[in-house]
Copies of this chain bind each other. A is one copy, B any other.
Amino acid sequence: MSITDGFWAPRREIVRTRSIPQQERQLRAKGQQFDALRLQWQPGDEHEPHIFWESDVAKWIEAASYVLAREYDTELDASVDEAIELLAGAQQEDGYLNVYFTVVRPGQRFTDLQDAHELYCAGHLIEAGVAHYDATGKTDLLDIVRKYADLIDREFGPGGVAEGGYDGHQEIELALVKLAKATGDEKYLRLAERLIDNRGAVPHYFDLERDRRGGVEGYWDHVFPDRPSKERWYKEYNQSHLPVREQTEVVGHAVRAMYMYTAMADLALHNGDASLRAACERLWDDLVSTKLYVTGGIGALHSNEGFGPAYFLPDADGYAETCAAIGLVFWAQRMALLTGDAKYVDVLERALYNGALSGASEDGTCYFYGNPLASEGDVTRSEWFGVACCPPNFARLVSSLEHYIYAVDDLGLTVNLYVAGQARFKHAGSTVTLTQSTDYPRGGDIDFTVNVAETTRFELRLRVPEWASNVDLRVNGDVVSAASENGYLLLDRAWSMGDQISLALQMRPVRLWADQRVAAARGRVALQRGPIVHCAEEVDNSAPVRSLAITREAEIRVEYDNATGLDQLVVPGVVETFAGAHLYSSIPPRVRPAEVRTVPYFSWANRGRGTMAVWLRESLAGD
């Protein structure tokens, strides 16, 4: 599969040439992740290895592997091999692989699952091992993680030191599903099931392990001083407040939630587990009807890096971690696979093009941890973070975009995303190549060319995005009427070499209003065109964006901006200026007409500091 897309290919190239090398430099810095793997740290030394650090290395290897899969690069391959060698060196005889519990707290492995992220790191190592094997065919990392996974399987199985346990930060569950697929060994699927099924069981594992530690609180005790008095809150924080099948509301830390729901959907699909599927569907409904930002961002609350109550979606004060939007992409993809319903891909696309893509700067070297929907001008991206989960997560998502565009099944091919490139798949013994060309998301016209040696019958399912106000579908120039099923247009026919399919999705700029229970959006609208949610930035407007308001009935114009290479939206409105001398005044604000100009949300904060808002006020009477 190849991606030649005008929108994505340059962004993927930036990740390859800028983000991945920059992240590597951070990992290689003195006393940081690579050094830690040498296991030479001793108590009293500076640069105490952090409990997260394997996950940073692993996500970087995973991202690099996706790059290597599409284009061999000697230098990158050598760097990855070096990292794998370090991991091999850090792995213990019995397969255990975690620097922190080897050099900082030896002898305490699997005793602080609630806090210490041990299986979280293991999960990322497993994902890296699978990606590296898929990309290069090399088995060295896969062997390492398999040996570690085998140890985990024993220790979390009957008679193991952590029997009945599971990690406070979900991640390994979805990784084990990948490992099972890569190795064909169902044992890993069973382990993932156990970890999911154990979660939230009573007596509660995190209470049991604390008792076994003699009541000593875990690694995060010092930052969670109120944990003893807020038991429910902290169990919701890591979604262990109830057995997963009894959970009905999306709660707690957003990334943990997404990774868990992803694994639940994976297992529901693999096992045909109806109760797990029902739980996923209930949780999804709760998310999209009460806790999803219009940007596809999720997890509005800073305090838990996660979900607040229903409709709690503040703008400037919202959190919306990059990793959480990425996690939503994962979950949505699995839900689409599980159900065949395009509504999940609508959300996937919303998160991908907006709340996830905003996570990195245009030049691929600076990152947002949180992605608020408004700024008073004090928000900028950072080069790196003490907890550096987002940068490599972004890199691995963008570098693995291939995984999200198509879905193949026995009946044919589903096209979920419109991204120019080529896809090759097997159907009933034939190799089919489908070439997609489009300038999406700038335009909604997508052309497909079928390349198949002999005429082959298969279903082609084309997703009709929720925002498409009109759809025109042609095959070889002729308008065809296709059945619409679960949000897809279904073309079930015999395809021959050179068949042309043309899909035209009408992509008009639209206003979006929110349920009024979303306080930050009251009296406001967001602008969207195609999958791209817009925001106003101060640099494009004649006043701070807090002063802008747009007219409800006015037409929205699309204008290409040469400087950024992006489409802007232009809409008549006003600038309102406070007319008082102090904080309050009975003099009405001064109002002057002004065009309000917006840019794609993902692109904000690339041109210096300034105010920004997604939700724009609606202006008074025909001003």
Name the interface residues of A425-479: CB closer than 8 Å to any CB of B: 467
Which of A376, A515, A622 has most B Cβ within 10 Å? Answer: A515
> What residues of B have a CB within 8 angstroms of the CB of A582 in the complex?
288-289, 515
Q: Find the B residue at minimum CB distance from A294.
A: B584
Interface residue? A178 (CB, 8 A): no
Q: How far is the CB of A40 from chain B (nearest CB, A)?
A: 29
Q: Does A7 contact B (CB under 8 A)?
A: no
Interface residues of A in 601-623 (CB under 8 A from B): 617-622
A23-31, A383-391, A506-514: which one contacts chain B?
A: A506-514
Question: Closest Cβ of chain B: how far from A516's Cβ, in Å?
Answer: 5
Any B CB within 8 A of the CB of A552: yes
Q: State whether B546 touches A578 (Cβ < 8 A).
A: no
Q: Are B546 and A516 in contact (CB under 8 A)?
A: yes
**A511 and B578 form a contact (CB under 8 A):** no
Judge whether A583 and B511 touch: CB under 8 Å. Answer: no
Task: Decide if A203 is an interface residue (CB 8 Å cutoff).
Answer: no
Cross-chain pairs A/B with CB under 8 angstroms, 13 sampled: A294-B583, A294-B584, A376-B517, A512-B585, A513-B585, A513-B587, A513-B588, A514-B583, A522-B617, A526-B584, A552-B620, A621-B621, A621-B622
Q: CB of A579 within 8 A of chain B?
A: yes
With A and B bound together, what is the CA distance between A546 and B222 in angstroms? 40
Q: Which residue of B lies closest to A589 (CB)?
A: B513
Contact between chains at A510 and B288 (CB < 8 Å): no
Q: Which residues of B are found within 8 Å of A290, using beta-carbon distances?
A: 583
- Contact partner, A620, options B225, B376, B618, Cβ 8 Å: B618
A544: chain B residues at CB < 8 Å are 516
CA distance A503 to B547 in the complex (A): 40
Q: Quick one: which of B292, B512, B523 contacts A586, CB cutoff 8 A?
A: B512
The smallest beta-carbon distance between A353 and chain B, in angstroms, is 15
Nearest B residue to A291 via CB reads B583
A512 to B585, CA, bound (A): 5
A549 within 8 A of B: yes
A610 → chain B, closest Cβ, in Å? 14
- Contact status B513-A584, CB under 8 Å: yes
Interface presence of A580 (CB below 8 A): yes
The 7 residue pairs across chains A and B that have the minimum distance between CB atoms: A621-B621, A225-B225, A510-B586, A523-B617, A516-B546, A512-B584, A515-B578
Q: Would A620 and B617 count as touching, CB distance under 8 A?
A: no
Closest Cβ of chain B to A469, distance in Å, is 9
How far, in whole Å, are A534 and B577 apart by their CA atoms in the complex? 24
Q: Mark A539-551, 1 if CB is under 8 A from B, else 0.
A: 0000010110100
* Contact yes or no, B511 A588, CB < 8 A: yes
A184 vs B526: C-alpha distance when bound (angstroms) = 66
- In the assembled complex, the CB of A583 is this many whole angstroms from the nearest CB of chain B, namely 5
Asked if A576 is at the interface (CB within 8 A of a chain B CB), the reply is yes
Chain A contacts with B in 214-242, Cβ cutoff 8 A: 222-223, 225
Name A518's contact: one of B526, B583, B586 (CB within 8 Å).
B583
Contacts of A522 in B (CB 8 A): 546, 617
| In-complex Cβ contact of A519 among B292, B546, B618 (8 A) | B546
B516 touches A580 (CB 8 A): no
Q: What residue of chain B has the Cβ atom nearest to residue A315's Cβ?
A: B519
Q: Are A583 and B292 in contact (CB under 8 A)?
A: yes
Instruction: A578 to B289: give the CA distance in the assembly, Å.
Output: 13
Report yes or no: A516 in contact with B622, Cβ–Cβ below 8 A.
Answer: no
- Any B CB within 8 A of the CB of A316: yes
CB distance from A612 to the nearest CB of B (A): 13
A24 CB to nearest B CB, Å: 31
Within 8 A of B (CB), among A114-149: none
Separation of A554 and B526 alpha carbons in the complex (Å): 28
Given the known interface contacts A584-B294, A618-B620, A620-B618, the answer about A578 and B514 at a Cβ–Cβ threshold of 8 Å is yes
- Tell me, in angstroms, the Cα distance from A519 to B544 when the chains sit together: 12
Which residues does chain B contribute within 8 Å of A510, judged by CB atoms? 586
In the bound complex, how far is the Cα of B589 from the Cα of A512, in angstroms? 10
Bound Cα distance from A270 to B173, whole angstroms: 72
Residues of B within 8 A of A514 (CB): 578, 583-584
Chain B residues near A223: list those with CB within 8 A: 225
Which residues of chain A (520-536) have a CB below 8 Å from chain B?
522-524, 526, 528
Instruction: Report Cα–Cα, A618/B275, bound state, in Å.
Output: 48
> A554: shortest Cβ distance to chain B, in Å?
12
Complexed CA–CA distance, A578 and B222 (Å): 44
Compute how far the CA of A512 lies from the CA of B511 in the bound complex, rounded to whole angstroms. 29
Contacts of A528 in B (CB 8 A): 586
In the bound complex, do residue B621 and residue A516 qualify as a contact, i.e. CB atoms below 8 Å apart? Answer: no
